[in-house]
Amino acid sequence: METVYKESRPQLQEISWEDVMILSSKVAKVILSGSYRFDAVIGISRGGIIPARIISDMLLVRDFYVYGIKYYSGINERDEIKVVQKPEGNFKGKNVLIVDDIIDSGKTMAFVKKELEGEAASVKVAALLKKPWSEIDPDFCAGVTDKWVVFPWEITETKAELEGKAASSGKNA
């Protein structure tokens, strides 16, 4: 298991549902202002499913798929990339947009992109946010942060994990 940040408890940045809509809209507007048109949108689970669905709606792309990846084992902890679900679509000759909520190391996005590049006509990547140290720069992104981002779909599990870590170390969360 790899520790992501040097400190054991990174600074948190909470993102609201309104923020998610604003960030998704920024990504979609950049795409729509250019010449890119997509035939399919793929959300990387778990975090990318919601923004991918929102962005696919804004782009009027009905072909929506999920690529299931497990990489993070907890806050500030990563394991090896594990594929848990591959999309069952045929992407041959299609322009595909892969979406995730955040690109941290970039390893997950780079893995999924490489998997699809052999089949699709083109593969572009988008994220609501990215970390400055990411090994991959998304084609479309709404912002950069160096904090541990907590999205609205993961508040309860993040709180539970922080409380569990605090209890095991004898500190308050």
Residues of the domain holding 35? 2-6+16-144
Q: How far apart are CA 74 and CA 79, in angstroms?
A: 9
- pLDDT, residue 41, reads 98
Six token digits for residue 100: 């995730």
- pLDDT, residue 80, reads 77
Q: How far apart are CA 54 and CA 57, in angstroms?
A: 5
pTM: 0.84
Q: How far apart are CA 96 and CA 114, in angstroms?
A: 12
**Nearest residue to 76 (alpha-carbon basis) of 19, 130, 148:** 148
Do the domain assignments include residue 154? no
Do the domain assignments include residue 156? no
Number of domains in the chain: 1
Query: Is residue 125 over pLDDT 60?
Result: yes
Q: What is the mean pLDDT of residues 8-34?
A: 92
Confidence of residue 72 (pLDDT cuts 50, 70, 90): low
CATH number at residue 37: 3.40.50.2020
Do the domain assignments include residue 21? yes
Do the domain assignments include residue 153? no
**Nearest residue to 81 (alpha-carbon basis) of 72, 92, 90, 93:** 72
Do the domain assignments include residue 11? no
Confidence of residue 102 (pLDDT cuts 50, 70, 90): very high
Do the domain assignments include residue 166? no
**Nearest residue to 65 (alpha-carbon basis) of 111, 98, 93:** 98
Do the domain assignments include residue 129? yes
Give 2 or 11, the one with higher predicted confidence: 11
To the nearest whole number, what is the mean pLDDT of the chain?
87
Residue range 129-162, pLDDT digits in tens: 999 999 999 999 999 999 989 999 998 888 887 7
Residue range 79-98, pLDDT digits in tens: 677 878 888 889 999 999 99
Q: How far apart are CA 80 and CA 33, in angstroms?
A: 37
Query: Is residue 59 over pLDDT 60?
Result: yes
Q: How far apart are CA 154 and CA 95, in angstroms?
A: 30
Do the domain assignments include residue 152? no
Confidence of residue 69 (pLDDT cuts 50, 70, 90): confident
